[in-house]
């Protein structure tokens, strides 16, 4: 009777240790630092005339595995041009690494939200007579993430 109780106690202890071993999700300041580290690597391979800036940053468990990912909406600014990008950074060991990026043009992004595993971007796109600076056509883009891949969602 003593051995089964001992086994059960050991099993519960291992479960508790494993549960506590999962890292807490990063807070807002940590998430910003993680995003800035990612953008520093982007900047290292960019033209000296280009600069990368973090925009909206969200921390969310995108795939329901109990581990939070960091979602970064960023802007690359050139001397006469700009573009937005979207990246998901996932925990790998003690670090967060890129694990999915939007590959298509995002338009002029006005905001980002994350809910229910879906990343939603509120954007503006140029209409037929709009100058490049001032798009007027509202469009919502949605993405789902699975490890290593960010795909458009309906």
Residue burial 89-120, b: 16+ Cβ < 10 Å; e: rest: bbbeeeebeebbebeeebbbbeebebeebebe
Give the residues across from 57 on adjacent strands: 72
Please tell me the predicted confidence (pLDDT) of residue 17: 38
The position carrying tokens 């807490």 is: 24
| pLDDT single digits (tens) 82-130 | 899 999 999 999 999 999 999 788 989 999 999 999 999 999 999 999 9
C-alpha span between 41 and 16 (Å, rounded): 37
Nearest to 136 by CA among 148, 145, 128, 146: 128
Please tell me the predicted confidence (pLDDT) of residue 21: 52
Burial group, residue 86, by CB count within 10 angstroms (0-12, 13-18, 19+): buried
What are the extents of the domains in the chain?
Answer: 23-152
| pLDDT single digits (tens) 50-73 | 999 999 999 999 999 999 999 999
| pLDDT single digits (tens) 5-53 | 444 443 433 333 344 456 799 999 999 999 999 999 999 999 999 999 9
Cα distances (angstroms) measured from residue 48 to each of 77, 84, 115, 132 = 11, 18, 36, 24
132: pLDDT confidence band, cut at 50, 70 and 90?
confident
């Amino acid at each position: 009777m003593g051995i089964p109780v001992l086994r059960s106690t050991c099993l519960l202890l291992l479960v508790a240790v494993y549960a506590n071993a999962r890292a807490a999700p990063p807070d807002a300041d940590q998430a910003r630092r993680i995003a800035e580290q990612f953008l520093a690597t982007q900047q290292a391979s960019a033209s000296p005339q280009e600069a990368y800036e973090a925009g909206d940053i969200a921390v969310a468990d995108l795939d329901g595995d109990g581990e939070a990912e960091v979602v970064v909406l960023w802007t690359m600014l050139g001397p006469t041009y700009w573009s937005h990008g979207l990246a998901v950074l996932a925990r790998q060991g003690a670090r967060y690494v890129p694990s999915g990026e939007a590959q298509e043009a995002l338009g002029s992004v006005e905001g980002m939200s994350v809910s229910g595993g879906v990343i939603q971007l509120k954007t503006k796109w140029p209409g037929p007579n709009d100058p490049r600076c001032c798009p007027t056509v509202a469009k919502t883009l949605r993405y789902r993430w699975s490890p290593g891949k960010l795909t458009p969602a309906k």
